[in-house]
Amino acid sequence: DFMQLVVTLSVVYFMFQAQTCCYAEKLIVSSLEIPRGSSLSQPSGDSTNVTCGLSEFPPPVLSKCTEPILQGVPDLRGTWNSDDGMYMQRIEQCADRLTISGPGAGGLFYIHDFVRLDGTTENGCIDFNAGACPKC
């Protein structure tokens, strides 16, 4: 009958909502699933005109990462400012990954992304001296 159909549809709708709302909460985003942060700029996508340094302070690289910092890795996360206010940097961490972002030379900004803190060149920071911006 009609009332039973309404109740059945309500139950199905509730179950669907429960599944979709809770799926996002259970999702785990690994530090290695997030693309490497980079300070290289390519105006208009021109691969021949690459400069080092970003025109604005970059958004957080690891904000979607859900892995905890690995045991034994010091927690350095936060925005750090020098006592004289002349320097600041943001440090993000997730699992054994670390990024450092801040202002470089010439009004440009940098991201140093250490994909894994394992002592290898491959997983270390692939970047440049931020004090030399916009030169690479």
Q: What is the pLDDT of residues 3-52, one digit of tens each?
A: 454 344 444 444 555 455 555 554 778 999 999 998 887 655 666 677 78
Q: What is the pLDDT of residue 62?
A: 96
Q: What is the pLDDT of residue 17?
A: 52
Q: What is the pLDDT of residue 12?
A: 42
Q: What is the pLDDT of residue 47?
A: 63
CA distances for 96 relative to 31, 74, 75, 115, angstroms? 8, 10, 10, 8
> Does the predicted TM-score (pTM) go above 0.85?
no
CA distances for 43 relative to 46, 50, 115, 127, 130, angstroms? 6, 7, 25, 18, 19
Match 């530090």 to its residue by tokens: 31
Length of the chain: 136
The whole-angstrom separation of Cα 91 and Cα 129 is 17
Q: What is the pLDDT of residues 82-115, one digit of tens each?
A: 999 888 999 999 999 999 999 988 899 999 999 9
- The torsion region of residue 115 among left (phi > 0), alpha (psi -120 to 50) and beta comes to alpha
Q: Which of 119, 72, 73 is nearest to 92 (CA)?
A: 73
Q: What is the pLDDT of residue 51?
A: 78
pLDDT grade, residue 2 (50/70/90)? very low
Q: What is the pLDDT of residue 44?
A: 58
